[in-house]
Amino acid sequence: MKTIKKIKEMNKESGQLRSGKFTIGFVPTMGALHAGHISLVRKAKKMTDKVIVSIFVNPIQFGANEDFSKYPRPIKADMNILKREGADILFLPSANEMYRERITNISAEKYSSILCGMTRKNHFDGVLTVVAKLFNIVSPDFAFFGEKDYQQLTLVKRMASDLNFNVKIVQCPIVREKDKLAISSRNIYLSDKERREAPIIYNTLSFAKRLFKEGVKIDEIERISKKIIESDSSGRVDYIKIYEDKTLNEVTSKSRHCRIFAAVYFNRTRLIDNMGAER
């Protein structure tokens, strides 16, 4: 596996691959790699000739009171994982390399102010800006994103379409622990008690999915789900919301394919999850 730290070198390398008629699969990450990331790398290996993975803890998507400085950075362990999984190139830029005198941001307007955007101001502006830069630097044919960060996935798809990026976004399923907790880099912050309680998020989403299919009103589903989590665990609900699946538009009487979203705090650890729902 080749490690590249400079943008110009990454541009050159990807240009040579494309000239050689290789298809490029790209997996953007912030490191602290786990089974969810590995599933994306494996999908990319199956679909493309060359796999490029980026590790960059993006400072502009973190808020003032968020965990940027504490975000895990086990780079040696991550590199060993990527070598084992057969990644071809690791793009490992510094913040200074990525953001020299930056004055431009990308914003998704209203779609970045719902769900996680309600409490994480400018978070998705930071996400979309770094993803756009990475797409331009790497020039992939396919980019692989997991469904766990479904709002991010939807916004990246929309950005790629709106700005005419020549890349296909590949949507990959959530990877879960045996007890159905969505795998996340933040799970390591949970206490033993919190870790035992955390699967209540998945179980509540499953119950909410059943209520949705039965035609229960949206606000009632959200109210019941919040009560279940806060009554039966130490979790504190940030939000439980239902939106149309592909658009993140508000649910109407004609909506059939939707998605239920949850964000729950266990002490200071914020976990997110989601689940498709139909009626």
| pLDDT at residue 113, rounded to an integer | 84
Q: Is 185 annotated as a binding residue?
A: yes
Q: State the pLDDT at residue 231.
A: 98
Q: Is 123 annotated as a binding residue?
A: no
Q: What is the pLDDT of residue 237?
A: 98
107/38 Cα distance (integer angstroms): 29
Q: What is the DSSP string of 114-149?
A: STHHHHSTTHHHHHHHHHHHHHHHH--SEEEEESTT
CB 120 within 8 A of CB 66: yes
Tell me: is residue 31 an annotated ligand-binding position.
Answer: yes
Q: For residues 187 and 181, is the Cβ–Cβ distance under 8 A? A: yes
What does the block give as tokens for 230?
């806060």
pLDDT of residue 72: 79
Q: Could you read off the pLDDT of 253-271 as tens digits, one per residue?
A: 899 999 999 999 999 999 9
The answer on whether 37 is annotated among ligand-binding residues is: yes
Q: Does 16 carry a binding-site annotation?
A: no
Active-site residue identified among 4, 28, 29, 37: 37
Query: What separation in angstroms does the CA of 33 have from each of 49, 121, 166?
Result: 22, 26, 27
Low-confidence stretches of the chain (pLDDT beneath 50): none
- The CA-based angle 276-262-117, given to 5 degrees, is 105
Q: What is the pLDDT of residue 121?
A: 81
| Residues 29, 92: Cα–Cα separation, whole Å | 10
- Residue 196 in contact with residue 178, Cβ under 8 Å? no
HSE value, Cβ hemisphere, 13 Å, CA-based, for 98 = 24
Nearest Cα neighbor of 142 from 10, 40, 11 is 40
CB atoms within 10 A of CB 57: 16
Instruction: Tell me if residue 123 is catalytic.
Output: no
Q: Give the number of other CB atoms < 10 A from CB of residue 147.
A: 20
Domains of the chain: 2-172 (3.40.50.620), 185-278 (3.30.1300.10)
Give me the DSSP letters along 32-97: ---HHHHHHHHHHHHH-SEEEEEE---GGGS-TTSSTTTS---HHHHHHHHHHHT-SEEE---HHH
Indicate the helix (H) or strand (E) that contains 52. strand 50-55
> How many Cβ atoms sit within 10 Å of the Cβ of residue 63?
13
What pLDDT does residue 67 have? 73
**Among the listed residues 228, 28, 32, the one whose alpha carbon sits nearest the alpha carbon of residue 142:** 28
- CA 124-129-134 angle, to 5 degrees, is 125
Q: How far apart are CA 53 and CA 23, in angstroms?
A: 14
